[in-house]
Amino acid sequence: MTTISTPGIGTDLRGRRLPKWAPWAIAAGAAVLSYLAIYLGGLLDGGWVLTAVVAVLLYLVLLAAVATGVEGSRAARNRVATSLIYSAFVLALLPLLSVVYTLVSKGVSRIDADFFTHSMNGITAFDANGGAYHAMIGTLEQVGLAALISVPLGVAAAVYIVEYGRGKLATAIRFFVDVMTGIPSIIAGLFVLAFYVFGMYKFFNHGQGGYSGFAASLALVVLMLPTVTRSCEEMLRLVPDALREGSYALGIAKWKTVMRVVLPTALPGIVTGVMLAVARAAGETAPVLLVSGGFNSINFNPFSGNQSSLAIYIWDQAGAASQYAPARAWSAALTLVAFVLTLTIVAKLLARRSKLK
């Protein structure tokens, strides 16, 4: 009998291992070394960012060297790969944490009763108060209406594409959904401006065009529809055919199978997709500004008259010539993020509650 030897794998099952504390010791060593050389020593003229980067690189090199010596090359590669993955994870998390930190630290200053109950009506550049109540109403109404229109349409389109569509029509629809996904948001705004604000709206308004919150909703629908359709389509495709067939085999009609078996199974994924679309829509500024006109007072009616929204409010306050405006912009930004976050959490909880325990 011939034995094939595998390089690096001996017959002894237990190899020599670095002690548990060794990677930490190496990390500490690399940090100190880097600090001394880069930060204090002024080598490479670096600040603390460069110090951290060099520390990580040093750590990888030292770890590789020590591990190769003690544990062999395969184990060393494993350690380096693991460390690289952790570093990448931290690197990916940094911008997120940084955004959240900035948002909260700068945003809390104007989170007060005034901010949630007052508009900017009559607020001059020298007034410290004023709020975003009107903008919050606008965002809620516009995004709500947009979701109300685009979610049923998008889900229905996805159901058609996945469950019913065969042949050319389904392929064509898929293609156009793909194309629509790539539409720049300002184009959606221009489209609604021409089609609704200066077009259809005239029929309800004695021949006059005009801005409205609903026009903003329409622009958001144009943006949300393809996203909702695509994500919903992906989720429906993940539902195993075995479930559909299991349902058909009970003599359950196709539409009922879709409604009661396929959609509920895909629901958690669909909710996630819808929430991503809503989050994106809530932050849209340019197309909304173009068709809702923006406004500094309260307008509860989305179907008539200018309306503000949080995104417009942030854009407006960030550029306003007043020492009090930036704080309002940050607080509005924090509010917007909190709004999207709350919505996401609520939606996830609802989706989970519909699942059995």
Partner 1 sequence: MAKRIEAVGVTAYYGTFKAIEDITMTIEPRSVTALIGPSGCGKSTFLRSINRMHEVLPGARVEGRLTLDGNDIYERNVDVTAVRRNIGMVFQRPNPFPTMSIFDNVVAGLKLNGVRKKSLLDDAAEKALKSANLWDEVKNRLGKPGAGLSGGQQQRLCIARTIAVQPAVVLMDEPCSALDPISTGAIEDLIFELKNEYTIIIVTHNMQQAARVSDRTAFFSISQTGDPGRLIEHDVTSKIFTNPREKRTEDYITGRFG
Contact residues toward partner 1 (CB under 8 A) are 166, 240, 242-253, 256-257, 260-261, 264-265, 267, 354-357
Residue where the block lists tokens 């099952």 = 13
AA letter at 292: S
What are the Cα distances from residue 217, in Å, to 92, 109, 193, 347?
33, 31, 12, 20
Query: Shortest approach of partner 1 to residue 244 CB, angstroms?
Result: 8
Query: Shortest approach of partner 1 to residue 349 CB, angstroms?
Result: 16
Nearest CB to partner 1, comparing residues 272 and 322 = 272
* Cβ atoms of residues 46 and 106 within 8 Å: no
Strand-pair partners of 185: none
Strand-pair partners of 50: none
Nearest CB to partner 1, comparing residues 20 and 357 = 357
Query: Shortest approach of partner 1 to residue 167 CB, angstroms?
Result: 9
Nearest CB to partner 1, comparing residues 99 and 243 = 243
What are the Cα distances from residue 331, in Å, to 87, 123, 129, 322, 327?
32, 17, 12, 15, 6
Nearest CB to partner 1, comparing residues 17 and 256 = 256
Nearest CB to partner 1, comparing residues 257 and 299 = 257
Query: Shortest approach of partner 1 to residue 269 CB, angstroms?
Result: 12
2-25 exposure pattern, b = at least 16 Cβ within 10 A, e = fewer: eeeeeeeeeeeeeeeebeeebbee
* Cβ atoms of residues 295 and 130 within 8 Å: no
Q: Tell me the C-alpha distance between 295 and 262, whole Å.
A: 44
Query: Shortest approach of partner 1 to residue 240 CB, angstroms?
Result: 7
Phi, psi angles (nearest 5°) of residue 307: -145, 145
Nearest CB to partner 1, comparing residues 120 and 261 = 261
Query: Shortest approach of partner 1 to residue 266 CB, angstroms?
Result: 10
